[in-house]
């Protein structure tokens, strides 16, 4: 916000304020004790043009063109009030994550977490090998270890298309599943209650499939290249989906704030910092390509206002 000038006593500042607003330039008027006014322009990109309009108004305050802007200014204020009401309604819903913790309000979010928990519990039993065989990106029982990367799409192309999605429900430690389910509940609830269950469902399925494909392609190329990584490991988890949800909410908040979806800067730094930390290798084998793939998908959807 910048001051662009002053109006003397006796010159109506409201006429200038309406005129500027009718031209798409928001301003603020501060009254002085002597009866004059100080004029501020909100957007600094409008300073030069607004200053020119101010000078023109001072030179001819009775010019009809200045008063003719009143209807446009009134419509602009009404439109802004409508946007503000919509934003406040949406923002309350997005922030009230636990205000209505019923299945009816967020079925896709609850089902996603429930499936992940059930799969993880099965992984802690004697059935773990079968669970990993059937839910992994491919059945790694077939072939020697060095051949496993090349088998990646064989099962999918033979009709086992669920393998594009199901690796997202495999988790390999308590921290892994707790972290992922926590973020699904936070981000998924906000998206589902504001954008709808079907949109969230399609986002989860699409992000899971694409992030898994990206991770497989990355691992296949890494395996074939000269590297210290000499074996292909089974990957899984909802992290790719979570980074898609994060990217979506992040971009919606930045580009379409009126929709009420946003994530605060602290959590943005946390998730981006975690992404970088995973790339250092300090946390062991991590599906980093899936994280990046999910983030790219989510940011693209947010940019498109999906």
For residue 34, count other CB atoms closer than 10 A to its CB: 8
Same domain, 52 and 129: no
Same domain, 112 and 239: yes
pTM of the entire structure?
0.66
Domain tally, the chain: 2
Question: Which of 37, 67, 91 represents a domain boundary (last residue)?
Answer: 91
Same domain, 125 and 254: yes
What pLDDT sits at residue 95? 46
What pLDDT sits at residue 142? 59
**136 and 170 Cβ atoms separated by less than 8 Å:** yes
- If phi > 0 it is left, if psi is from -120 to 50 it is alpha, else beta; for residue 235 that is beta
What pLDDT sits at residue 140? 66
What pLDDT sits at residue 94? 45
- Positions in the chain short of pLDDT 50: 92-95, 97-99, 226-231
What pLDDT sits at residue 216? 83
Q: Is residue 96 part of a domain?
A: no
What pLDDT sits at residue 268? 92
What pLDDT sits at residue 146? 53
Q: Is residue 145 part of a domain?
A: yes
Question: Which of 46, 73, 91 represents a domain boundary (last residue)?
Answer: 91
Structure tokens at 43: 């957007």
Same domain, 237 and 110: yes
pLDDT digits (tens, 9 = 90+) for 59-101: 998 888 888 888 888 888 888 888 777 666 655 444 454 445 5
What pLDDT sits at residue 156? 84
What pLDDT sits at residue 144? 52
Same domain, 199 and 107: yes
Same domain, 81 and 199: no
pLDDT digits (tens, 9 = 90+) for 5-18: 999 988 898 999 99
Which CATH number covers residue 26?
A: 3.30.70.2350
For residue 30, what are the CA distances in angstroms to 38, 40, 76, 81? 5, 8, 21, 22
What's the domain range around 81? 2-91
Same domain, 12 and 151: no
Query: Between helices 288-303 and 265-279, what is the axis angle to 10°?
Result: 150
């Amino acid at each position: 916000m910048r001051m662009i000038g002053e109006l003397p006593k006796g010159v109506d500042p409201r006429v200038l304020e309406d005129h500027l607003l009718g031209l798409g330039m928001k301003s603020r008027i501060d009254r002085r004790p002597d009866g004059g006014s100080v004029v501020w322009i909100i957007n600094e990109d409008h300073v030069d043009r607004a200053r020119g309009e101010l000078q023109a108004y001072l030179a001819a305050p009775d010019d009809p063109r200045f008063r003719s802007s009143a209807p446009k200014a009134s419509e602009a204020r009404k439109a802004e009030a409508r946007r503000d009401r919509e934003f406040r309604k949406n923002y309350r819903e997005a922030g009230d994550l636990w205000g209505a913790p019923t299945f009816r309000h967020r079925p896709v979010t609850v089902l996603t977490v429930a499936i992940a928990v059930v799969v993880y519990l099965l992984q802690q039993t004697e059935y773990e090998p079968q669970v990993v065989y059937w839910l992994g990106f491919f059945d790694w029982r077939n072939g020697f270890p060095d051949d496993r990367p090349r088998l990646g799409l064989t099962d999918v192309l033979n009709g086992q298309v669920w393998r594009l999605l199901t690796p997202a429900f495999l988790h390999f430690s308590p921290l892994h599943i707790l972290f992922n389910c926590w973020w699904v509940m936070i981000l998924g609830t906000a998206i589902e209650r504001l954008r709808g269950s079907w949109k969230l469902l399609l986002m989860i399925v699409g992000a899971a499939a694409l992030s898994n494909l990206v991770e497989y392609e990355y691992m296949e190329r890494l395996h074939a290249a000269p590297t210290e990584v000499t074996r292909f490991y089974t990957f899984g988890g909802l992290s790719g989906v979570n980074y898609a949800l994060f990217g979506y909410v992040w971009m919606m908040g930045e580009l379409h704030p009126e929709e009420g979806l946003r994530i605060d800067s602290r959590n943005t730094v946390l998730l981006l910092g975690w992404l970088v930390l995973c790339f250092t290798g300090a946390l062991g084998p991590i599906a980093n390509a899936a994280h990046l793939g999910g983030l790219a998908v989510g940011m693209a959807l947010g940019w498109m206002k999906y």
